[in-house]
Structure 1
Amino acid sequence: MREFDEPSRTSGPGVVADGPAGAPTVLVIDPAGEAPHNEIPATWRNLTDRLRIVWLRVPAAPTWQSTVDKVLTMHRDDVKPVLDVVTSGPIAADVLDLVRRHEDLVRSVLLVDPEVEVHDEFARVVVRSSDSPDDRIPPPLPLGHPDVVFGVVEELDRLG
């Protein structure tokens, strides 16, 4: 498992967002801390014409759990919120626990290489990489990786 404690990942904004307000929202809770330059990763940008992408960079947001609660609570008064959460690896269990407190707001939790077994009805594993010597990127796959974006989009389309 990769380590995400590089100093460069802890600098920059804790949260970045792009896409139209009021659109279906994808909250990406990133343990690796991509998007350090106040923009979501390039692989996600073409989705912002139809989705609101909110990217929470865990290394730059030490109180990330309260930030997740705040972001989810902001949707409490939406008429019909469409909110999906994406996360990976080492924080999957914590994110699932947080979402359980907001199950009425969150349509799905989409997981990449979770380190836990997934039993919640609202949670789905969208990408699982192997930890084989042939793999160029060890798990968890970065959330900005094209395979992750493809898996997320495929699942969002299936959810309708």
Structure 2
Amino acid sequence: MRDLNQPARATGPGVVADGPAGSATVLVIDPAGEASHDEIPATWRELTDRMRVVWLRVPAAPEWKSTVDRVLSMHRDDPRTVLDVVTSGPIAAEVIDLVRHHEDLVRSVLLVDPEVEVDEPFAQVVVRTHDAPDDRIPAPLPLGHPDVVFGVVKALNELS
């Protein structure tokens, strides 16, 4: 398991976003705190021509749960907006619990290397790292990793 408690991860913005407002939105709740330079990771930028990506950096947003509630509630009055949530590893169970309070707003929760079993109709695992001697990156796989982007796009296409 990777150490996600490095002090440098807490610097930078708590939330960064890119893509057209009012379009389908992917809320990425990142326990590792990528996107520390005021923009989403490069691997996700190609998606922003057709969807909005909101990246919440948990280490830089100590009140991340209330931030998630606020972001989801902002979309309550816009029935056109499709919301999907992506998260990983140690906070998967907490995110699923938060989404239960907003099930009418969120189409899916897409998980990467969750530390819990997933038994919710709106949640699915899109990438799972297998601990093997040849793994270069320990679980949870960073949400900016190309395999994660591929898994998320594949899941979103299947949901459409």
Is 2:22–2:80's contact at 8 Å kept on the other side of the alignment?
no
Equivalent residue for 2:28?
28
**Which position in structure 2 is the counterpart of 1:79?**
79
CA distance in 1, matches of 2:79, 2:153: 24
Whole-Å separation in 1 of the counterparts to 2:159 and 2:24: 12
Q: Distance in 1 between matches of 2:106 and 2:79?
A: 13
Q: CA deviation at 1:99?
A: 0.2
Query: What secondary structure sits across from 2:109 in the alignment?
Result: strand
Listed as ranges, the matches of 1:54-65 within 5 Å are 54-65=54-65
User: Which TM-score applies when normalising by structure 2?
Assistant: 0.99
1:2 partnered with 2:2: yes
CA distance in 2, matches of 1:102, 1:7: 31
- 2:43–2:149 Cα contact (<8 Å) kept: yes
Distance 1:144 1:95 in 2: 18
Name the counterpart of 1:50.
50
1:89 CA displacement: 0.2
Deviation by residue 1:99-153 (Cα, 9 ceiling, x = unmatched):
0000000000000000000000000100001111110000000000000000000
CA distance in 2, matches of 1:17, 1:149: 16
Aligned to 1:137: 137
CA contact (8 A) 2:27 2:84 kept: yes
* Cα drift, residue 74 of structure 1: 0.3
Query: Which residue of structure 2 lines up, in the alignment, with residue 39 of structure 1?
Result: 39
Give the letter aligned to residue 120 of structure 1: E
Q: Name the counterpart of 1:69.
A: 69
The secondary structure found in structure 2 opposite 1:22 is coil
Identity of aligned residues (%): 77
2:110 maps to 1:110:
yes
TM-score (norm 1): 0.99
Q: State the Cα distance separating 1:8 from its structure 2 match.
A: 1.1
Structure 1 portions without partners, runs of 5+: none
The structural deviation recorded for 1:54 is: 0.1
Structure 1 position 81, deviation (Å): 2.5
SS where residue 29 of structure 1 aligns?
strand
Q: Deviations over 1:16-51 (max 9, x none)?
A: 000000010000000000000000000000000001
Q: 3-state DSSP class of the match of 2:106?
A: coil
Give aligned pairs, total. Answer: 160
Q: CA deviation at 1:79?
A: 2.1
